[in-house]
Amino acid sequence: MLEKKLSEDLILAMKSGNKVDVQALRYLISVIKNKKIEDRTRDRELADADVIKVIQKVVRQQKESIEQFLSGGRTDLVEKETGEMEVIAKYLPKEVSEDELRKIVKESIAVTGASGVKDMGKVIKVVMEKVSGGADGKVISQFVKEMLS
């Protein structure tokens, strides 16, 4: 569904002549195609959850690129990458608030019966399923570690 929306939005961007959107969406669609080839699922669409994982990975890579371009003094590339990242990030689910995330972590700890840091993996897995791409894995890990320590 999300994969189809990306293709439709690419067509609209091409018709409107929006070069930044076209470039960003083409890149994202190519990364998704590569993922399908890697998973040997060329003939069917990826599930929305898998597409969201790909989008998160792309946004994370773009943030890293922006940091490197900033340290290298390449403001032209920072602007280009930032514009593309903003286009791609629109397809991510709404971010879960910090308070909401803490609540979900507490609930997940109770559900899993986690008692210490050794159970972090179980808790993180449950939290990730609940937020379905609406929170950064590093932040989730940090909150889980805080609450289990």
Asked whether 66 and 82 are in contact (CB, 8 A), the reply is: yes
Are residues 124 and 54 part of one domain? no
Are residues 129 and 57 part of one domain? no
The closest alpha carbon to 46, from 34, 36, 57, belongs to: 36
Q: What does the pLDDT profile of the chain (149 residues) look like in tens digits? A: 888 999 999 999 999 999 999 999 999 999 999 988 887 776 777 788 888 888 988 988 999 999 999 998 898 898 999 999 999 989 888 888 888 888 888 888 888 887 778 888 888 888 888 887 777 778 888 888 888 87
Structural domain tally of the chain?
2
Residue 141 backbone class (left: φ over 0; alpha: ψ -120 to 50; beta: rest): alpha
Q: 116 is in which domain, residue-wise?
A: 98-148
Residue where a domain terminates, one of 89, 106, 136: 89
Are residues 18 and 37 part of one domain? yes
**CATH number of the domain that residue 69 is part of:** 1.10.1510.10
Are residues 6 and 61 part of one domain? yes
pLDDT at 129: 81
Q: What 3-state DSSP class applies to 94?
A: coil
Classify residue 31 by burial, with Cβ atoms within 10 Å: 0-12, 13-18, 19+. Answer: middle
